[in-house]
Amino acid sequence: MEQESFLHRVLKIVKDETAPNVPLIEFRHPKELEDILKDDISISDPVSDQQLEESVRKVLHYSVKTNKPTFKNQLYGGTDPYGLAGTWIAEAFNTSQYTYEVAPVFTLIENKMLNHILKLFGFPDGDGIFSPGGSISMLYAIVAARFKAFPEVKSKGIRNLPEMVMYSSESCHYSIMKAAHWLGLGTESVRLIKSNQCGQMVIEELETALKNDINSNKVPIMVNGTAGTTVLGAIDNLDKIADICAEYGVWMHVDACWGGSLMLSQKFRTKLKGIERANSISWNPHKMAGAPLQCSLFLLKERGLLHEANSAAAQYLFQQDKFYDVRYDTGDKSIQCGRKIDAFKLWMIWKARGDIGLNQMTDYIMELAEFCLETVALRPGFRLVSAPLQCPNVCFWYIPSFMRHQTEDEKWWGLMHKITPKIKEILMTSSRMMVAYSPHKEHKNFFRLAFTFHPKLKEKDIIEMLQAIEDCGEMITIENL
């Protein structure tokens, strides 16, 4: 009873520390924060429940409140309340997804979710698994592509195989480089294909690179198309990539971790035309759709390949003489052994909102992003990096008054490169906003506003955020750069 009472009190603290009147962040530099929390984060000696509550409250006080409308720092934001409830339930039941016997209903729910989502993406007879994130899904994709090309790799390794190469846009997520390293292929096996001004892979460059490698006796094993790049939200021409992969017999993966949520919309799913022709897809509902971290999927068109490529047939866990249908034991197709029941929180969201509700939420944020794009285009001092809208990413510079009406030479852009992070610093230290910035190709640092399902914003929230950027930008002078 004492522990239950403690849990209720902690929930009260969470509610207090995420209330509307609580600042987004009370920023402190690392050493300063370490000194402030020195006793609170120490774990050497046991403390009373009251002391623990005080420490928890202090920890949350200095933490970022990602549920705030002004948290626009990442490709995720506030959580869907139904998903949050699903997380609490999943954690309370503390079971693993690897066998039916320890997670009977959760196993059925995972299967139901996978089948529904596979049909949504055009893989009606496919397979899939929930993974810890997009980077792990990239690992799954390369393992599947390599196994499909060279099944013997599972037992013999890569030592006697020809040199394998992969292809991805230069604007893609960095996980393909890490995966190439982890899997022993090496980062030099990844060909980063030029992208255009909108961030999309140049298809002609892809085909040229493929031909050059084939002529050099290298073996292309995978082309990674991106549906929603991290910065510009660019969507590659998936249909044309599929054409090339079909012609050369190469595995096609689509990193739709960000943009995959557009499939929830009848109107905007056309932006992902061609995704149904891929061999595999990754999608992160914990990004745009607001499922609590972590909630990611890896989907394959070919049923059975996931198990064949990854199974280890551990007899102490996946016994084939169990008293129930062992086909419901899904753990052997996973890289992990212990696996959280991530499907349940997504099921809670989908059960509550249905296809119709998720469709409406997708349409709403795309319309909101379009409003932001149009507002930025017309607002003095703001300048768009790219248009039209692909995913709900709006990228722009804010040019302070003292920088306007000047020759925009290398020196001028060098100052702009410093101004953008300085604006972010002022926004963050004043608790007004957290917003991402990035360079891209020849472009100097600019802001990226990415819109997510939660919390639900209104047009006035966007105006206020742009005003905050303008206010902080006007505080900058040459002297304080």
Q: Where is the domain boundary, 350, 375, 409? A: 350
Give the CATH number for residue 432. 3.90.1150.170
Residue 7's pLDDT is what? 85
Domain match, 221 and 245 both: yes
Question: Would residue 254 count as lying in a domain?
Answer: yes
Structural domain total, the chain: 3
Interior CA angle at 328 toward 323 and 329, to 5°? Answer: 85
Domain match, 154 and 20 both: no
Q: Residue ranges of the chain with pLDDT lower than 70?
A: 1-4, 312-318, 321-322
Domain match, 339 and 383 both: no
Question: Would residue 119 count as lying in a domain?
Answer: yes
Residue 313's pLDDT is what? 65
Give the CATH number for residue 188. 3.40.640.10
Residue 1's pLDDT is what? 47
Model pTM? Answer: 0.93
Who's near 189: CB < 8 A, 6+ residues apart? 163, 164, 165, 166, 180
Domain match, 164 and 294 both: yes
Nearest alpha carbon to residue 166 among 210, 214, 222, 216: 222
Q: Are 452 and 288 in contact (CB under 8 A)?
A: yes
Q: Maximum Cα–Cα distance for the chain, whole Å?
A: 78
Domain match, 259 and 134 both: yes
Ramachandran angles phi, psi of 43, nearest 5°: -125, 15
Residue 316's pLDDT is what? 61
- What's the N-to-C CA distance of the chain in angstroms? 57
Task: Give the span between the Cα atoms of 217 and 227, in whole angstroms.
Answer: 30
Q: Residue 108, SS3?
A: helix
Domain match, 152 and 250 both: yes
Domain match, 420 and 454 both: yes
CA atoms within 13 A on the CB side of 237: 13
387: domain range? 353-475
